[in-house]
Amino acid sequence: MIRALDLTKRFDDFTAVDHLTLTVEPGEILGFLGPNGAGKSTTVKMLTGMLQPTQGTAEIAGHDIIEYPMQVKQRIGYIPESGAMYESLTPAEYLDFVASLYHLDPALAESRFNDLLDVFGILHARDQRMTEMSKGMKQKVLISSALIHRPDVLFLDEPLNGLDANAAMVVKELLKKLAAQGKTIFFCSHILEVVERICTRIVIIDKGQTIISGTARSITEDTDSKSLEDAFSRITGIRDAGDLSNDFLAALERV
Amino acid sequence: MLDRLLARLDIDPRQFRALLRTSLRIDFRTGLFAGSRKKKSKRRFPGLWQILVFYGFLGLVISFLILESGDLFFSGTSMMTIVMFSVATSILVEFQSIVVAPEDYHILAHRPISSRTFFASRMANMLVYLGVITGAIGLAPSLVYVFRDGFQPHLGVAAMLGMLGAGVFTAMAIIFLYVNLLRVIHPKKLRRVFSYLQLVLSFVVYGSGMIFSSLFNAGLVTDVDIPQESWMLLLPPTWFSSVLSIFEGRGFWLEFASILLGAGATFTLLTYAYEKLSLEYAAMIARLDETTEDQKPARPSRTMSLPMFRRNEGRAAARLIRNQFKYDQKFRMSVLAIVPLTVLYLIAGLSGGGGLADPFVDPAEHVEKANLLYFAMAFFPVLLMASLVRSDAWQASWIFHATPSDKGKIVLAVKDVLVVFFILPYLLALGVVFLFYFESIRHVLLHVFILSMLSHLILQVIVMVNPYLPFSRPSRKGERTAGIFIGIIVAAVVMTVIINVLARLIYPSAYATGITLLVLALLTLVFERLAAERVRTKTRRLQFDQ
């Protein structure tokens, strides 16, 4: 499970995350939403032990992130939005490398990553350098690398980036099944339809603070909106999308 | 056994091996030792070969010094100084690929790797790099030490050990410097500072080369005999050259003190680096890298209003190259490398006294004095084109393929931009120097005009041979150094011939000069046509990214 208490991160004068408190139970898929710069990535970096909080603390799978970062890192899987990987390696080399970092038996690791690549339909490319691969293929390798050590807690930042419709469907189903197995899933995405469909609960943050939390339906009802997208737009206070698009068109038509 | 040793040091052996294996794979494929990724290329490690050839050549130069010099301490100290300079210049600029990279943080920071394991793997990776550099530089000098006075293999071993020690010390010193400067300077600004520092160092390196060659010519190297004195303990190269004296059996307290000082300093810096080279440090670099440095708003450019750069492909090429020169540090420093080369070649020419003679009055004297200067001049277009093709921002070149722009026109516009914004200012600066020495302003104008036409012709030829779109190919580490080295040799040969023919055969006759001007003008027109045709044919392939 994930339990964050009063989590705060300041960079000089700027407060990226401001006294954030949240809990995600095993078996839950939490949709973590917010406009650009709201503090989502900073929160994820603190929860994954990549960034030290300025204040507050968090527990992941029963371990304090500040006291026991190594134990936390053993139990989590993370898909960063940046998709950073050593791309001059082949998928087989990269997954073997990642498996080694988690002390997986090499034979077990190989059979596991072969299975994962096979499910994603890229087993034929396991020995091809990732520099020569499409964004979608690389994303499949990235997802495999986050799952290969069977983590208890998953942090996913835009995991469907670049995936084709079929692969995206596989991932969405996979997440539901992992949650059913009791895994804890922290899901960040800007694709609100996907969030609405697979997340059991949603937290929306802005300026580092929680604005609203609940199920997609409760958020929609509480904000008197037609959909989660509409609710998000109202809560985070952007201008009307129709007005904005008109301004864009006017700018393009200027002679 | 190694696993047990690593475990004792609190380093996870399996993670250490995985990290080291991966970083070496990256170095050989896309990093420091990588070369061309052309599918047809059968060469396995061309990047590594370039490093070996370049540093091996440096080693050969040192070997001559060792052969000439009878003093072991002098030759050893000179050798260590060159090794330390080479390692310093390399690490200064490539710090974020040799020592620690921001992407390490993004890929590794959420994995259960201890700082000690990460540090050990980075150190091991850096040792491989230092081993390759010192091995390439040190092979020939070590062999010379082994066979110079009978058969003395222990001296060869001492030379290698000393050079490796000097390399490690230098690397640690640079890390110390870098880490401390990072506390007060933004990384982007720091990279710029280091690039200028490299420019200054290149003055020192080229200058030292010239001093050494002068010493050779004067036979002074043979006579140098420097006794080691206690004040020399202040000079780090002497710490490592003392290894040679000890192995030769001449070790006294001063030599031992030198080695102890070197080992102590290296160990202290290693301890410091251990505290700093963690994933948290990579995180700091990554975070600082992500935040942008304060920039002053750019002023609108007047030169952009030149007719050829006012519209379409010409405007796009001019805008791109000028802004890359402003903001792309690698491109700017690559271009500015011509400055130390020119200044030092000019000084070399003038060092004999008498100034640069007027080529129209005293051709033989002019050729003798300005020969090196013309090497630099001929090398400049080669350098410009070589620097212009590769860039870290190469992936942005999709824009050329996704717009209906004429690739041929872009390639030709690039040539024009280089002539107007780089070649002409450079030649005008040379013209100012000529004004001091030539007897008439008319001679200066004519000479600069002919040199401009020659430079333009060189660019036309390069464009015909390799019509690449600007900043469209990925950077290759180490390639610049090797490219410059090859460029210097080719330019030197070509320009020696041209300048001799010009000054000795053509300038003495006004008639021949006039004919030459006409021929050059005609050649320019013909080459422009040929270049356009050839570029058009070749750039058809660029219609799709290949």
CATH architecture of A2-214: 3-Layer(aba) Sandwich (3.40)
Contact between chains at B110 and A51 (C-beta distance less than 8 A): no
Contact between chains at A76 and B22 (C-beta distance less than 8 A): no
Question: Across the beta sheet with A14-24, what order do the strands follow?
Answer: A14-24, A2-11, A55-60, A63-64
Distance from CA of B420 to the nearest CA of A (A): 32
Neighbours of B152 (CB within 10 A): 15
What is the predicted pLDDT for the residue at B40?
42
Q: Mean pLDDT lowest for which of A79-93, A234-248, B38-52, B216-230?
A: B38-52
And the tokens for B72? Answer: 């072991």
Residue of chain B whose alpha carbon sits nearest to that of A106 = B14
What is the predicted pLDDT for the residue at B209?
62
Are the C-beta atoms of B502 and B359 separated by less than 8 Å?
Answer: yes
Are the C-beta atoms of A218 and A56 separated by less than 8 Å?
Answer: no
Predicted confidence (pLDDT) at residue B34 exceeds the cutoff of 70: no
pLDDT class for B279, splitting at 50, 70, 90?
A: low
Q: State the average pLDDT over residues B41-66.
A: 72
Query: What is the spatial distance between Cα B260 and Cα B283, in angstroms, rounded to a whole number?
Result: 35
Query: What is the spatial distance between Cα A3 and Cα A24, in angstroms, rounded to a whole number?
Result: 6
Helix B329-336, helix B187-218: angle, nearest 10: 20
Instruction: Please name which of A47, A172, A51 lies closest in space to residue B282, comparing C-alpha atoms.
Output: A51
Q: Which residues pair with A17 in a beta bridge?
A: A9
Distance from CA of A195 to the nearest CA of B (A): 24
Mapped onto helix, strand or coil, the DSSP state of residue B484 is: helix
In B473-502, the residues whose Cβ lies within 8 Å of chain A are none
Which residues contact residue B414 at a Cβ distance below 8 angstroms, ignoring those fewer than 6 apart? Answer: B317, B321, B388, B463, B470
Instruction: Please name which of B484, B248, B480, B493 lies closest in space to residue B380, comparing C-alpha atoms.
Output: B484
pLDDT class for B38, splitting at 50, 70, 90?
A: very low
Domain ranges for chain A, please list them.
2-214
Q: Is B270 exposed, middle or buried (0-12, 13-18, 19+ CB in 10 A)?
A: middle
What would the pLDDT profile of B481-505 be if each residue is shown by its tens digit?
Answer: 555 566 667 767 787 888 888 888 8
Contact between chains at B22 and A51 (C-beta distance less than 8 A): no
Query: What is the spatial distance between Cα B278 and Cα B118, in angstroms, rounded to a whole number?
Result: 6
Residue of chain B whose alpha carbon sits nearest to that of A93 = B22
DSSP state of B506: I
- Complex ipTM: 0.87
Distance between alpha carbon A160 and the CA centroid of its chain, in Å? 9
Contact between chains at A102 and B114 (C-beta distance less than 8 A): no
What is the predicted pLDDT for the residue at A213?
93
Which of B103, B109, B112 is nearest residue A50 as measured by Cβ atoms?
Answer: B109
Distance from CA of B31 to the nearest CA of A (A): 9
Distance from CA of B282 to the nearest CA of A (A): 11
Contact between chains at B112 and A73 (C-beta distance less than 8 A): yes
Which residues contact residue B430 at a Cβ distance below 8 angstroms, ignoring those fewer than 6 apart? Answer: B342, B373, B377, B448, B451
The reply to whether B186 touches chain A by the CB within 8 Å rule is no
Interface-testing mutation among B111, B186, B395, with chain A (most A C-beta atoms within 10 A): B111
Task: Count contacts between A and B (CB, < 8 Å).
Answer: 66
The reply to whether A60 touches chain B by the CB within 8 Å rule is no
Looking at per-residue pLDDT, the higher value among B377 and B45 belongs to B377
Query: What is the spatial distance between Cα B23 and Cα B26, in angstroms, rounded to a whole number?
Result: 5
Contact between chains at A48 and B110 (C-beta distance less than 8 A): yes
Are the C-beta atoms of A156 and A185 separated by less than 8 Å?
Answer: yes
Instruction: Kindly give the pairing relationship between strand A2-11 and strand A55-60.
Output: antiparallel
Are the C-beta atoms of A34 and A44 separated by less than 8 Å?
Answer: no
What would the pLDDT profile of B311-353 be if each residue is shown by its tens digit?
Answer: 888 888 888 888 888 877 778 877 887 887 788 788 877 776 7
Instruction: Please name which of B61, B344, B322 lies closest in space to residue B201, comparing C-alpha atoms.
Output: B344
pLDDT class for A123, splitting at 50, 70, 90?
A: very high
What would the pLDDT profile of B69-93 be if each residue is shown by its tens digit?
Answer: 777 888 888 888 888 888 877 776 6
Which of A70, A86, A89 is nearest residue B112 as measured by Cβ atoms?
Answer: A70
Helix B153-182, helix B187-218: angle, nearest 10: 150
